[in-house]
Structure 1
Amino acid sequence: MRIKNRLIVGDEKNTILLYGEIGEVISATDIKAEILQAESNGKTIEMRINSLGGDVYSGLAIIEAIRQSNADIRMFIDGVAASMASVIAMCGRHIEMGRYSRLMLHAVSAGCYGNTNEMLQCIQEMKKTENLLCEIISKKCNKTAEEIKNKYFDGEDHWLSADEALSLGLIDGIFDMEKIQEPTTENIYNITNKRKGVNLKDDYRAFKLHLSRLLSLDGHSDETEIFNAINRLKTGKNGLSSMVDNAVKKGWINNKDKDVYISLLKNDTKTFLKKYETLKNEDAANVIELICEAQNKGIILACETDVYKSIGDEMGANVLCDILQMKPRPKRAVRYLNLDFADRSEWTYDDWRNFDPKGLAENPELYKLLKNKRSGKTMEARTLEWYRRNNPEYLEQHPDFYKSLIDKEYNKQ
């Protein structure tokens, strides 16, 4: 049986289950969609966690989805929140643990392969990721990121009970429930072995996930999809060798290194897959960084983010970087960034239409003036003195127009 994260819509609240491995059973894409769906209902969102952790980058995507949401998201740890799942739990506006639940914090683990420079780059990336996770946790318990790193990212697994987590300020409360099975020696053994890249031979699910990775499938693939992938591999279509071509196409490796990776694929598939996954994650992080930078500079608008994210996912960060460098800023975005919203005397007809159409609709005299000015037509001018004598109420109701008449009169003198 495959457990899937799912949204449960209730009368007073929405519940999202984070039960399973992050990045495999718990998909960042699914969680983002479920948050948006639950948010549209206008109710409190409860996220209930029972997870031993998983992929860091998928976890960061889930954290960003939680941070961007305007909903009241509350975290409840039903069983275990370990590794990356514990960091996700720290992002709730309110966090509670079950009386018999467990929270586990530890340092980042990753596989690494290559020359000295590549190994050092991998270590640097791990350190950056650890600093980021420590910063997230520190904001919850009012400690510095350095204190969190020294205490919990020291190479050991720190298993905390609900009482311990509450006393340390990592959670806000404890809820009572029927006693569930506490983390067993086998569970701890499984997560420790997972960090070291070891899978139990008698664990069918672990075997299926590992086989899916070998066949370039995701963790949700069923037996039929795995069987079909094996048949394609037997006929030489869409095999693992296509991963090397994909890495070259996206600029992760250059053509002169292609033969090296093909040889590695043939002789040490496991190491190749680890290296490929590292390149893939680094490229995905670079794509997100490029898009955020482009948004901040006004090169792309928020509504264009998904389009350029798709380009980056399909063609790689290098191609996306070239595209963004060639793309001019949207004219409307540039105009918006340069507008003075406090003093609107210099606004054009198009400015009012684009950025404050309601204000223009409430000011028919200004509308007529700007419309005629835009079309090059002239109209009988009504001076400041005329309004003061004949329609002073209009000036009181439209201070921007009043100010423009004063400026015009002043410039005449």
Structure 2
Amino acid sequence: MKIHQLLRDNAGREKRPVNLVRNGAAASLYIYDVIDAYWGVSAQSVVDAVNAAGDAETLNVYINSPGGDVFEGRAIMAAIGRFKGNSIAHIDSLCASAATSIALACGEVRMSEGAFFMIHNASGLVWGDKNAMRETADLLEKVESAIVGDYTKKTGKGEAEIVAMMNAETWFTAAEALAAGFVDSVTTPDKKAKNTWNLAAFGNAPAALKAPEPVEDPAPEPEPTPSMTAANGNRLRLTLL
């Protein structure tokens, strides 16, 4: 139920649809919301934005997200992976849960001082008897195996070490994420990164992050983007929250 609590705790937030800005040879894509087809950034909106980037040489992906739907996240990863030019992830403030895999889909990952990076286990909702519960647990393990593969490939760490980090819901500062191999460099922004999310839904969130701070959004006013239809709305919704 963590995603429900996260959405409830942040119900008053200003929605931030995906925004793409083209500037010469570079395109900038802003993912500043929950990863979700209904309540935040959908995979379809990112696909449309990446397609709109066209022949840009570089796609800059700016991230401030607490995560969300794992399947939406995997589709976003695929869209970024199909971009023919260079791709650079910029972790502006928070990159948690499903958002971490999106960052790692880019060819380079840069993280601002003061930002946080969090990995943890997948979770899901299921209703039924003991067989349904066991089947869901098996499915969650399969989902996590793909995520563990993303992390081991990026960091060079062993599977057991990554699994232990996920079990513990591990929060990394920028320096810690760099040392662990999740990011390639730490940048010093003009303004210190501030958390804009209420993160009480997470058990191990640093106390300083549980109360959000107002922050000026660096992204220009976004253009309206189409949302993905819910043809599979009755499927099991798994999240990394």
* Shorter-chain TM band: 0.7 to 0.9
Structure-to-structure mapping, 1:87-98, within 5 angstroms: 87-98=101-112
The 8 Å contact of residues 18 and 49 in structure 2, kept in 1 or not, is answered as: no
One-letter amino acid of the structure 2 residue matched with residue 11 of structure 1: G
The 8 Å contact of residues 113 and 193 in structure 2, kept in 1 or not, is answered as: no
Query: Displaced runs of 4+ in structure 1, greater than 6 A?
Result: none
Tell me the equivalent position of 2:209.
none
One-letter amino acid of the structure 2 residue matched with residue 172 of structure 1: D
2:175 to 163, 167, 181: 163
Q: Does 1:188 align with 2:199?
A: yes
Tell me the equivalent position of 1:81.
95
Q: Does 1:58 align with 2:72?
A: yes
Tell me the equivalent position of 1:102.
116
Q: Does 1:130 align with 2:144?
A: yes
Bigger share in strand? 2
CA-to-aligned-CA distance 1:121-168 (integer Å, 9 cap, x gap): 100000000000000111111123333112x221x3211100001111
One-letter amino acid of the structure 1 residue matched with residue 21 of structure 2: I
User: Percentage identity across aligned positions?
Assistant: 25
Q: Within 1, Cα distance between the matches of 2:201 and 2:133?
A: 26
Tell me the equivalent position of 2:220.
none
One-letter amino acid of the structure 2 residue matched with residue 41 of structure 1: D
TM-score, normalization by structure 2? 0.75
Please state whether the residue corresponding to 1:187 is helix, strand or coil.
coil
Say what the alpha-carbon RMSD is for the aligned residues. Answer: 2.5
Tell me the equivalent position of 1:46.
60
Q: Does 1:2 align with 2:2?
A: no
Please state whether the residue corresponding to 2:123 is helix, strand or coil.
coil
Unpaired runs of at least 5, structure 1: 193-219, 221-245, 251-272, 282-413
Cα displacement (A) at 1:191: 4.5
CA-to-aligned-CA distance 1:13-51 (integer Å, 9 cap, x gap): 10000110001321101111211221x223200000000
Q: Tell me which structure has the larger Cα radius of gyration.
A: 1
1:113 to 127, 130, 133: 127
Higher relative contact order (CA 8 A, sep 6+): 2
Q: Within 1, Cα distance between the matches of 2:143 and 2:113?
A: 31
Bigger share in helix? 1
Q: Within 1, Cα distance between the matches of 2:145 and 2:133?
A: 19
The 8 Å contact of residues 60 and 90 in structure 2, kept in 1 or not, is answered as: yes
Q: Does 1:28 align with 2:39?
A: no
Tell me the equivalent position of 1:322.
none
Q: Does 1:15 align with 2:36?
A: no
The 8 Å contact of residues 100 and 162 in structure 1, kept in 2 or not, is answered as: yes
Structure-to-structure mapping, 1:226-375, within 5 angstroms: 276-278=234-236
One-letter amino acid of the structure 2 residue matched with residue 30 of structure 1: S
Specify whether residues 127 and 79 from structure 1 end up closer, same or farther in structure 2 by C-alpha distance, changes over 3 A only.
Answer: same
CA-to-aligned-CA distance 1:227-265 (integer Å, 9 cap, x gap): xxxxxxxxxxxxxxxxxxx9xxx9xxxxxxxxxxxxxxx
Q: Within 1, Cα distance between the matches of 2:108 and 2:135?
A: 37
Number of aligned positions between the proteins: 199
One-letter amino acid of the structure 2 residue matched with residue 68 of structure 1: R
Q: Within 1, Cα distance between the matches of 2:61 and 2:143?
A: 24
Please state whether the residue corresponding to 2:162 is helix, strand or coil.
helix
TM-score, normalization by structure 1? 0.45
Q: Does 1:69 align with 2:83?
A: yes
Please state whether the residue corresponding to 1:120 is helix, strand or coil.
helix
